[in-house]
């Protein structure tokens, strides 16, 4: 069984070609701050179109990638990104799946677009971040999207920031208590809390928190940019490996890399001190089950 990466970003070609101009034309200021070239040259965001992504997947032995949307601040940008991801999965159905992005300010038209992309083969919702997109967790249209996700068996990926960490351009606070409450109050939805859930798995040591998070899973996206090499073993020791899903956050650049690559992200899991069965679960088997992938 090949590897599944359940957290990659394939931005529209026009966005990758001119991130600053593209974002300015759409009012996507937060994303622009996050991906802008850094004055010290140590850029965090790398860029890859679909052809490069597929080549890099081949080189790393990744059989399938799940394209995540982005937590855009405008409904129109969500629609544009969903459109470009639909084209990519249409052309490469054997290698790529996608989850849809969404902004509740789009109202009924945003909800209808979820119905449309579902017919095109999309398998979930994400990567959303209400705090960054500017709506509360109980926003009524967001609530309707969560009901659809529950009805359709669509996992919902949320961006989660570690509460104790370093500042960086575009950092957004995602208070863990509010994430716990969102998950607890939507027991029919499978949530995938990105970036090891901002270390939320360790709070599952508290039995009440564990009960609230019974329908939460965690992905490993951007791990080497945030956490040390012991993270995989430590989280597995805390919650087991059934709810951990390999995600890279490709084409983000781990420290020291000038070009996008999957290898440093895979290394976190492979060198995590886990058994072969646990490693295989995280690297593919869990994601195949969650997203019902071929």
Under rule CB under 5 A, residue 159 binds Zn ion: yes
Q: Select the span of 118-126, 188-196, 267-275, 278-286 touching Zn ion (CB under 5 A).
A: 188-196
Among residues 235 and 285, whose Cβ is nearest to Zn ion?
235
C-beta of 69 vs 278, nearer to Zn ion: 69
**Degrees (nearest 5) of the Cα angle 147, 244, 268?**
140
Read off φ and ψ for residue 129, nearest 5 degrees: -155, 90
Q: Binding segment for Zn ion among 10-18, 80-88, 192-200, 252-260 (CB under 5 A)?
A: 192-200
Which one, 57 or 128, has the nearer CB to Zn ion?
128
Minimum distance between the CB of residue 72 and Zn ion, rounded to whole angstroms?
13
Of 95, 99, 97, 96, the closest CA to residue 82 belongs to: 99
Range in contact with Zn ion (rule: CB under 5 A) among 20-28, 78-86, 187-195, 278-286: 187-195
Taking the complex as a whole, how short is the minimal distance between the CB of residue 194 and Zn ion, in angstroms? 5
Q: Which of residues 101-130 bind Zn ion (CB under 5 A)?
A: none
Rounded least distance, CB 94 to Zn ion, Å: 26
Q: How far is the CB of 219 from Zn ion (least distance, A)?
A: 9
Dist. CA 203–CA 163, nearest whole Å? 12
Stretch that binds Zn ion, among 58-66, 98-106, 193-201, 230-238 (CB under 5 A): 193-201
- Choice between 30 and 159, CB closer to Zn ion: 159
CB of 244 to Zn ion, least distance (A): 16
Three-state secondary structure string covering the chain: CCEEEEEECCCCHHHHHCHHHHHHHHCCHHHHHHHCCCCCCCCCECCCCHHHHHHHHHHHCEEEEEECCCCCCCHHHHHHHHHHHHHHHHHCCCCEEECECCCHHHHHHHHHHHHHHHHCCCCCEEEECHHHHCCCCCCHHHHHHHHHHHHHCCCEEECCCCCCCCCCCCCCCCCHHHHHHHHHCCCCCCEEECHHHHHHHHHCCCHHHHHHCCCEEEECCCHHHHCCCCHHHHHHHHHCCCCEECCCCCCECCCCCCCCCCHHHHHHHHCCCCCHHHHHHHHHHHHHHHHCCC
Query: Do 48 and 250 form a contact (C-beta atoms < 8 A)?
Result: yes
Shortest approach of Zn ion to residue 230 CB, angstroms? 21
Least distance to Zn ion, CB of residue 163, Å: 15
Minimum CB distance to Zn ion smaller for 251 or for 278: 251
Interface stretch with Zn ion, choices 140-148, 154-162, 164-172, 257-265 (CB under 5 A) = 154-162
- Binding-site size for Zn ion (CB under 5 A) equals 2
Query: Is residue 194 a contact point for Zn ion (CB under 5 A)?
Result: yes
Of 68 and 279, nearer to Zn ion (C-beta) is 68
Q: Which residues are at the interface with Zn ion (CB under 5 A)?
A: 159, 194
């Amino acid at each position: 069984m090949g590897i599944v990466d359940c957290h990659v970003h394939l931005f529209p070609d026009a966005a990758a070609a001119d991130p600053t101009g593209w974002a300015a034309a759409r009012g996507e200021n937060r994303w622009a701050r996050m991906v802008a070239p850094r004055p010290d040259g140590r850029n965090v965001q790398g860029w890859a179109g679909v052809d490069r992504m597929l080549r890099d997947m081949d080189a790393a032995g990744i059989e399938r990638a799940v394209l995540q949307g982005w937590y855009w601040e405008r409904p129109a940008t969500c629609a544009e990104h969903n459109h470009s991801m639909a084209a990519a999965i249409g052309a490469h159905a054997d290698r790529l799946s996608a989850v849809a992005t969404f902004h509740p300010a789009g109202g009924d038209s945003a909800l209808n677009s979820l119905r449309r992309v579902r017919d095109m083969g999309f398998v979930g919702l994400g990567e959303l971040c209400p705090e960054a997109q500017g709506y509360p967790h109980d926003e009524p249209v967001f609530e309707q999207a969560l009901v659809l996700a529950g009805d359709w068996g669509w996992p919902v990926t949320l961006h989660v920031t570690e509460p104790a960490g370093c500042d960086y351009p575009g950092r957004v606070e995602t208070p863990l208590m509010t994430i716990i409450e969102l998950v607890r109050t939507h027991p029919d939805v499978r949530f995938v809390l990105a970036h090891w859930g901002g270390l939320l798995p360790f709070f599952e040591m508290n039995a009440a928190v564990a009960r609230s998070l019974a329908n939460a899973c965690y992905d490993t996206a951007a791990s080497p940019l945030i956490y040390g090499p012991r993270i995989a073993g430590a989280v597995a020791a805390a919650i087991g490996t059934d709810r951990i899903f390999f995600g890279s956050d490709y084409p983000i650049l781990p420290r020291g890399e000038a070009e996008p690559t999957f290898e440093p992200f895979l290394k976190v899991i492979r060198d995590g001190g886990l058994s072969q069965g646990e490693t295989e679960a995280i690297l593919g088997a869990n994601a195949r089950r969650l997203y019902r992938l071929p």
